[in-house]
Amino acid sequence: MPETPANVKTRIRDAAAAAPEKGLDAAVVEIERALVEGWVLERKGAIGPRSVPGFADAVVSALKKLAPPPPRKVKFSDPLRRILPLAEDSVKPAFDAAVLLLALSQVGDYTVVTDKKRKEHELFLDDWRRMIWESARIADWARFRSLVTTEERVLEGRLSRESVLAVLQAIQAKRIDNITPVPDVSVLACARCGGFRGADRARCAQCHGTFCTKCLGPTADLCLADYAARYAPIDAETRQRIAGDVKALLKEFKLDAYSRNESFVRALKEKGVDVVFQDTAPLEGQEVDGQHGRVKLLIREREGGLLSRRGFFGALARSHFRAEDLPLEPLQVDFFVEICLGLPIEDALRAVAK
């Protein structure tokens, strides 16, 4: 039977429910296996980023049966909490379940999930860790670390147990002192730089790799390598010439990716382009012929927006190409704009050529 997200959730629910009868060891092994399937489904695109939070939430609710939050007040009338024993061999699969849950929390679209819910998940990870420690009689982090063998990474060789240990340890400390920051590390290595810094991960629409924000192109749906590949058809000599021209122009007009609108207006005026701010104009601007051979750039007024900066730099590029009597090739104009925005395309191209 092909695995589906619904099947995975059912397997986890069943395993958690059967734990009092079949033991915690069997439960954590089955839960970890099911979560691996869930992760594979996510990697295959069978669970879209928007569905990931709901999926993870269902898993957490099921697992709360095994790892409830600590009781606030213990009453004598309460039944004694039963701690199911966990063998040392089962500590690793139990921990890897947390690794996979945390990995899911970094690839899903959590923008619409409330802070309260996210906080709940964070606390659950600590409850899960506590359950492992109590059941397997682990007293400290050194012991825990030795049992989950951090040198080796799980799945695809790209999930870091080390990152998860750092996050879990911080959550535990935060629960006590309320100030320890949870480190901004990812469980999943960036497909380009291999780094774990920065928890945000996004997927490239072209190669489907998962990248850190530094290795994603500014369109945010292509990785830098695929972004650079777009510009590979421009020969190296032309690229070098454009890069040189950009450098000179930015210097001449004291412009950079963070310049204010007025600086663009002044620079463009000298280059024969009159900027006209209009509420109905497109954000990235639109050029029309003006009087006496001048050009008008109709653009919506948005200070500091990426689209408007692209619009201004695009107008600068075209005015430059016109002044130099160079053919107006859209790809070259785009390349010009990227260089203006400070994108390390040449580095990316070199990395691709390797």
**Residues of the shown chain interacting with Zn ion in the complex, contacts defined by CB under 5 A:** 190, 192-193, 204, 206-207, 212, 215, 223, 226
**Based on CB atoms, which residue is closest to Zn ion, 207 or 283?**
207
Consecutive H or E run containing 353: helix 345-353
Rounded to a whole number of angstroms, the minimum distance from the CB of residue 144 to Zn ion is 29
Q: How far apart are CA 188 and CA 155, in angstroms?
A: 10
**Based on CB atoms, which residue is closest to Zn ion, 90 or 186?**
186
Looking at residue 188, the DSSP 8-state letter turns out to be: B
**Based on CB atoms, which residue is closest to Zn ion, 31 or 225?**
225
Rounded to a whole number of angstroms, the minimum distance from the CB of residue 251 to Zn ion is 30
**Based on CB atoms, which residue is closest to Zn ion, 155 or 207?**
207
Q: How far apart are CA 213 and CA 201, in angstroms?
A: 7
Rounded to a whole number of angstroms, the minimum distance from the CB of residue 218 to Zn ion is 14
Looking at residue 280, the DSSP 8-state letter turns out to be: T
Structure tokens that stand for 350 in this block: 């070199």
**Based on CB atoms, which residue is closest to Zn ion, 224 or 267?**
224
Rounded to a whole number of angstroms, the minimum distance from the CB of residue 127 to Zn ion is 32
Q: How far apart are CA 50 and CA 104, in angstroms?
A: 11
Rounded to a whole number of angstroms, the minimum distance from the CB of residue 231 to Zn ion is 14
**Based on CB atoms, which residue is closest to Zn ion, 180 or 206?**
206
E strand spans, the chain: 201-203, 210-212, 273-277, 286-289, 295-299
Contact between 67 and 81 (Cβ < 8 Å) = no
Rounded to a whole number of angstroms, the minimum distance from the CB of residue 108 to Zn ion is 19
With 0-12 / 13-18 / 19 or more C-beta atoms within 10 angstroms meaning exposed / middle / buried, residue 167 is buried
Nearest to 151 by CA among 92, 81, 108: 92
Rounded to a whole number of angstroms, the minimum distance from the CB of residue 223 to Zn ion is 3
Rounded to a whole number of angstroms, the minimum distance from the CB of residue 331 to Zn ion is 18
**Based on CB atoms, which residue is closest to Zn ion, 226 or 284?**
226
- What is each CA distance from 37 to 3, 13, 32, in whole angstroms? 7, 14, 9
Nearest to 327 by CA among 250, 242, 225: 242
Nearest to 45 by CA among 155, 269, 203, 193: 203
Q: How far apart are CA 47 and CA 39, in angstroms?
A: 9
**Based on CB atoms, which residue is closest to Zn ion, 122 or 226?**
226
Nearest to 22 by CA among 84, 69, 65: 84
